[in-house]
Structure 1
Amino acid sequence: MVASGAVLMGCMALGLVGWFASDAGGHGTTRDAIRVGADGWLLAHGATLHLTTGAVSATVTALPLGLTVLCAYVAHRLGAWAARTSAVEDAGTVLLGTVVMSGLYGVVALVTALLAATATAESSLLRAFAGGFALAFVGGGSGILAGSAHVVDWRGRVPETGRAILKGALAATLAMVAAGAVLLAVALVLDLGSAANVLSRLHADTSGGLLYTVLVAAVAPNAALLSGSYLLGPGFAVGTGTVVSPSAVVLGPVPAFPLLAALPSEGSPSPLTSALVAVPVLVGALAAVLVVRRFPAYGFEVGAVRGLGSGVLGGVLLTVLVMLAGGAVGPGRMADVGADLVPTFVAATVAMGVGGLVGGVGATWWSRRR
């Protein structure tokens, strides 16, 4: 209950603060402000939000991944605390604790969706429960497993090659997210004036600027992941009929949001931009080198398998994260925001897999030479 309630209360408190800071409570009521915070918390768990205003309706499906990561982190830490302070006997106890924690979390999300529903804003009840259950199962379950490592030694039961591939895949995925974040930051710095113009047109005061900062932080992981899909080559869409990729940029009107100032200009990008597609290959090679250093391999076939497996599995994980980063963010053309998953999957597994294969063989050769 604490894992779900802690962040939920924080979101509702932020909604109240934003309501008072924006117009001193001149519009709406306290309950409306609390509902906004609750709806944001539900969106972070994958509960679609259906909005209706007169004849206009929209469905928001995009997850604010920054808030999602925060919820998962809180569940992980509380799960680890629960395991350390409880009598964990065996793997069955760990599984039972994970299921109970996930079920309670899902019930809290379901009740929140019921209480926050109005005629103009309603969250999906089934997705609220399923999303809360899944987040607690992954976040809280990993925490419980980590906190009970002294009882359940799962690492000793997994072959070394499996552990090497898993850690290499995680390293490759995180490195691609970091590369996307660097690309996003550089693009924003190069076009910082556009972001400032967006804020000025919104007439945001100090409190409004702080609220926009919180909102940007909530969706910054989404932008970093879509930047990663840009590095892969297929790119992503910011509205129906648009594409942002190293080979072509086709844009229409976009919302007034500061992060969108990082979008490149329409037309054919510079030929140097095409060189960015080498980044996933280099990332795969780097992850394979780290794997061979952590798990020394003196046979070329072992190094090749671990490097290739790390790259391919990293590509799969990255594709899943890119899928979570997209979704509908408004009515009309803004119902299509995100990357095309099939080309992204192919590009990620091939580029990172090839890089991992080369890096694994090269690192093994260096180990044998030394």
Structure 2
Amino acid sequence: MSVLTGERDGTEARRGGAPGRRASGRNGRSSAFFVSALDGSPRWVAGALAALQGALLSLLVVVLPAVAAYVATSADPANEGVEWFRSVVVGTSLWLAGHGVPPVVGGAQVTLVPLGVTLIALFTAWASARRSGVVDRSAFVSGTVAYAVVVGVLGASVAGPVAGLRGLVGGALVGGTGMAAGLLARPEAPTWRELTRPWHGRLPIVIATAVEAATIAFASLVVVAALVVTGWVLAGRTTIVAIADALGVDLLGGAVLALAELAFAPVLVVWAVAWIAGPGFAVGEGSHFAVDAMTGGTLPAVPMLGALPGGDVVGGPAVLAPLLVVACGTVAGWYVHRGLRGRQGLRAWSGSAACVATAVITGLVAAVAMLPASGAIGPGRMTELGAPALLVGGVVALEVLVGSLLVVLPTDRLLRAATAQALLRGWQRLRRR
């Protein structure tokens, strides 16, 4: 039974596949799910309710701290005349920002996406679909639509019709991804390889292997970037603490500030990808953080920004950071080598072509990842944050290509044989002369 095709077989198909029936999954376990008053309802109802549950959970995770901060500071004279519902609007705006709907703060649009909120929304959608979803195409579609409608309606209510349209698109991407992952995690769901076999089998083996190798390359790059950010935080912990102390926030204010910074923490990881690759990133107009140069400027008093690489990191061993991307390329190259080894119908250039395709796909994914991590968080200098997507994608592709070729070219049996034959023919021609 497929989440995308909605195919059913055996007894379940004849019985109508009620959501509340027990289904034996791929791991041999039985799964009784959604046994309630809705037992026997159409599958799309279960999918829509699972999506609504996921959206509500992630919304509460963001809104409740904002309400708690209002309640704790309601006696402050500075908050006189501010209604409690304003805190709900602020929390909702942050939640919408995680879905690509930019809020307006102080008359300026905040287009930098809090990727931490996005990850929370993905997790709650995944958990809800995994717990109470139904592995069926109609459930997936209805869940995606329901999630998108929630984001669109809230966006239109808070920021107008244009924000509502952006909410529909962002909600469909986030909700659809979380729902798909959650449904595929259910015991009775098909494996990812089973699900993708129809189109995977139609792709040339070179492209199919490149897609998988690119996934490994980018995942490795993200792990490396996360480790680099951890090093930045440890190196800049003194600055971070000094900024936090200078703000003079109380315990509750510090907790709210920490949660807000966690919402943007994954953006640092994306910036680290640009830093490792070489192009670097900007935090304010005129600034530039790269392995070989650092041009700073006045930054907002935000503790998280104290983790940015300083002048003591520029140069020296840091200029070798792009070799980390090359290393990720070697991992992908080893996967290409193993994926093509022993395959029939390959040419001498098949391994090299797979490396090129791997590099291009990895570069495209890296460029797309730069888009939500680039934008503005305020007026003036703060309208320019992030890294140039096309430049970063191109550099990452080139470095992954170098790394993958370093592995594939020496280990490619067909290429070695073709090269030997070409050299032999050339030598024979020289002797005839």
TM-score range, shorter chain: 0.7 to 0.9
> RMSD of the alignment, in Å?
2.8
Q: Are 1:133 and 2:172 an aligned pair? A: yes
Same amino acid, percent of matched pairs = 23
Residue of structure 1 equivalent to 2:304 = 259
Distance in 2, Cα, partners of 1:364 & 1:155: 27
Q: Which amino acid aligns with 1:339?
A: A
Change in CA separation of 1:268 and 1:228 when aligned onto 2, cut-off 3 Å: closer
Q: Are 1:40 and 2:94 an aligned pair? A: yes
Bigger Cα displacement from structure 2, 354-363 vs 2-11: 354-363
Distance in 2, Cα, partners of 1:150 & 1:262: 40
Residue of structure 2 equivalent to 1:19 = 70
Distance in 1, Cα, partners of 2:258 & 2:294: 27
Residue of structure 2 aligned with 1:74, choices 104, 110, 124: 124
Deviations 1:155-184 (A, max 9, x none): 332135544323322221122112222222
Residue of structure 1 equivalent to 2:387 = 339
Contact 2:209 2:340 in 1 (8 A): no
**Structure 1 length-normalised TM:** 0.85
Q: Are 1:180 and 2:225 an aligned pair? A: yes
User: SS of the residue aligned with 1:325?
Assistant: coil
Distance in 2, Cα, partners of 1:356 & 1:60: 38
Contact 1:3 1:74 in 2 (8 A): yes
Bigger Cα displacement from structure 2, 325-334 vs 40-49: 325-334
Residue of structure 2 equivalent to 1:285 = 330
User: SS of the residue aligned with 1:124?
Assistant: helix
Distance in 1, Cα, partners of 2:408 & 2:254: 47
Distance in 2, Cα, partners of 1:152 & 1:335: 43
Contact 2:275 2:290 in 1 (8 A): yes
Higher RCO, 1 vs 2 (CA within 8 Å, ≥6 residues apart): 1
Larger Rg: 2
Bigger Cα displacement from structure 2, 6-15 vs 18-27: 18-27
Q: Which amino acid aligns with 2:123?
A: Y
Distance in 2, Cα, partners of 1:134 & 1:23: 37
Q: Are 1:111 and 2:156 an aligned pair? A: no
- Structure 1 unpaired stretches of 5+: 89-93
Q: Once the 2 structures are TM-superposed, how far is the Cα of residue 23 of structure 1 from its aligned partner?
A: 5.7
Q: Once the 2 structures are TM-superposed, how far is the Cα of residue 301 of structure 1 from its aligned partner?
A: 4.7
Q: Once the 2 structures are TM-superposed, how far is the Cα of residue 99 of structure 1 from its aligned partner?
A: 2.8
Distance in 2, Cα, partners of 1:350 & 1:123: 38
Q: Once the 2 structures are TM-superposed, how far is the Cα of residue 210 of structure 1 from its aligned partner?
A: 2.2
Distance in 2, Cα, partners of 1:324 & 1:79: 25
Contact 2:55 2:147 in 1 (8 A): yes
Residue of structure 2 equivalent to 1:143 = 182
Q: Are 1:99 and 2:141 an aligned pair? A: yes
Contact 1:50 1:123 in 2 (8 A): no
Contact 2:293 2:315 in 1 (8 A): no
Residue of structure 2 equivalent to 1:3 = 54
Residue of structure 1 equivalent to 2:196 = 155
User: SS of the residue aligned with 1:174?
Assistant: helix
Distance in 1, Cα, partners of 2:247 & 2:235: 21
Change in CA separation of 1:152 and 1:318 when aligned onto 2, cut-off 3 Å: closer
Contact 1:231 1:280 in 2 (8 A): yes
